[in-house]
């Protein structure tokens, strides 16, 4: 069972990471899916199907429930528990790895296997002030921080649960100390009358196959 870790980033939350080594049938046979979920799964192909199933299987394990808690999604595809309005969750996947977060407050999570193209994409999600922050570090740390900002802002986007957010304009992180493996900071969603603050926790893991993985979890202040 490739459950790589479970952790409690804060007391009221549980976060897990799973590396998919099983066939798709392992997860599908273990998960009772609603007709709506079966419809969501049907158009997915290949690894994307396995990631969809594995993420929900991992989330079920994190709940500790004997039977899977019924789930649905909002009009903007944010997952939620139908019968547990005070229990929040978030899902993420990257290159055959899945992450799941469970908390008693609005939250978001994202994971990202390190990819060489991330510096070329950074201008799409990092603003000028954040670029100045990143550029103060040596190139190896800059590469890590590009992944940190990407996962952080993806987690904020998921916590917000709506669309039409500009990652450079509406999502920001306060400066933070980067140890090379983890950091914590305040993060913000600012759009019109919306001004939401989050606790942001960033951590880099080295996977058993030696790939680097950046993770971000955020919680509404």
Q: Contact 219/10 with Cβ under 8 angstroms?
A: yes
Q: Where are the alpha helices (DSSP H) in the chain?
A: 24-30, 35-41, 46-63, 118-121, 128-135, 139-160
Residue 44 makes CB contacts below 8 A (sequence gap 6+) with 52
φ/ψ (deg, to 5) at 118 = -55, -45
18, 192, 172: which is closest to 95 by C-alpha? 18
Residue 194 makes CB contacts below 8 A (sequence gap 6+) with none
- Predicted pLDDT of residue 163: 86
Residue 120 makes CB contacts below 8 A (sequence gap 6+) with none
CATH assignment, 3-110: 3.90.470.20
- Is pLDDT above 90 for 58? yes
Q: Indicate where the chain has its CATH 3.90.470.20 domain(s).
A: 3-110
- Per-residue b/e over 18-53, b at no fewer than 16 CB within 10 Å? bbbebebebbeeebeeeeebeeebeeeeeeebbbbb
For range 19-34, the mean pLDDT: 95
Burial of 151 (0-12, 13-18, 19+ CB in 10 A): buried
User: Phi/psi class of residue 72: alpha, beta or left (left: φ > 0; alpha: ψ in -120 to 50)?
Assistant: beta
For range 49-70, the mean pLDDT: 97
Return the structure tokens found at 97: 């790895």
The H-or-E segment that residue 132 falls in is helix 128-135
* 43: β partners: none
pTM recorded for the entire structure: 0.97
| In the chain, % of residues over pLDDT 90 | 99
Q: Which residue has the higher pLDDT, 2 or 117?
A: 117
- Predicted pLDDT of residue 1: 61
For range 74-95, the mean pLDDT: 96
Return the structure tokens found at 160: 């917000």
């Amino acid at each position: 069972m490739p459950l790589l870790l479970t952790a409690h980033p804060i007391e009221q939350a549980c976060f897990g990471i799973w590396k998919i080594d099983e066939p798709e049938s392992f997860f599908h046979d273990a998960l009772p899916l609603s007709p709506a979920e079966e419809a969501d799964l049907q158009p997915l192909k290949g690894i994307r199907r396995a990631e969809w199933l594995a993420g929900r299987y991992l989330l079920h394990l994190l709940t500790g429930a004997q039977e899977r808690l019924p789930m649905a999604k909002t009009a903007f595809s944010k997952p939620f528990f139908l019968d547990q309005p005070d229990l929040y969750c978030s899902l993420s996947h990257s290159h055959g790895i899945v992450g799941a977060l469970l908390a008693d407050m609005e939250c978001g999570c994202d994971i990202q296997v390190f990819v060489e193209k991330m510096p070329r994409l950074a201008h799409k999600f990092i603003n000028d002030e954040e670029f100045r922050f990143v550029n103060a570090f040596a190139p190896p740390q800059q590469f890590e921080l590009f992944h940190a900002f990407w996962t952080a802002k993806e987690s904020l986007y998921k916590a917000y649960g709506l669309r039409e957010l500009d990652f450079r304009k509406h999502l920001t992180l306060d400066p933070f100390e980067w140890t090379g493996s983890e950091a914590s900071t305040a993060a913000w969603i600012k759009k019109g009358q919306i001004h939401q603050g989050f606790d942001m926790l960033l951590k880099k893991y080295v996977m058993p196959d030696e790939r680097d993985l950046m993770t971000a979890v955020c919680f509404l202040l």
